[in-house]
Structure 1
């Protein structure tokens, strides 16, 4: 397929073509509808999405549903379809990409606290998980945040470190911005 930037891998070898995007409440979550469209176009991937409560304040679930061509899971648990939703998503996914991952999500995930649908999916899946943190500049340097990121890596999650970016709050460039889609996809391809 054409139109792919040079830093984006040519292939993404998913066994069944299933990719789950998990979005949390960082401003970068607004990129997910566009990313879903690109993933479908570039790789022919079936994309589903799961959002946390805070993510739904920043990106419209209806926009993400249109981009994925699938209902968005979350933010709450639902068994109305006759399934245990976090288990169904965990088994469905060939790859889970958490982008962006807030410090709260990273901390809870690092300590096995699965008190939301998104966290329950990530901690329940046997599929590879790529986590792309997006932190406020001050949070990026906190020892507790760094320890949590290190714990995720120790536990087998692939963490794609943040990069410099423009703060929504200060308009200043600094560390903590979510990695770009190319870096995330390269890390994912290396896992698969």
Structure 2
């Protein structure tokens, strides 16, 4: 039988037993940390893949919604283009027509209580009036008021003749005037409704 005797002092023996082997400790730490890090990486990767999958679903839903909105906007745009074309045609039609309502309003303002019209004819750019007044001065005043209205460009000299109607002497008159078109009329009054 063999016996080993350690003849060192007791403090040296205890110090040798307490000595830490750094290489072994590092190896043991790395061996323990490797499975822990692997499990942590797997869990983090799984959670990250779930989050990315939910983001992909939400982005796909957003893309689908945007495609539907695009289709609706395209339909609305086509309808609005048709409406704009219809409005352009209507505005062109209105501009080509004589300004009848404006002319009638100007005639109504220009007529005095004693003057009346028997005939009113409005054509493109021209208006012709036939009527009766008590004096030639009333006819001239009617022509002056017409000329002051914004729709009338100029008034020709009235043609008058004295007649007797219902035992009273009155003046029969014929009067021609030039009218502004819609574009001239509304450009001068700065009304933007008929501007393109």
* Interval containing the TM-score (normalised by the shorter chain): under 0.3
Instruction: Tell me the TM-score normalised to structure 1 length.
Output: 0.24
Greater relative contact order structure (CA < 8 Å, 6+ sep):
1
Q: For the pair shown, which has the larger CA radius of gyration, 1 or 2?
A: 2
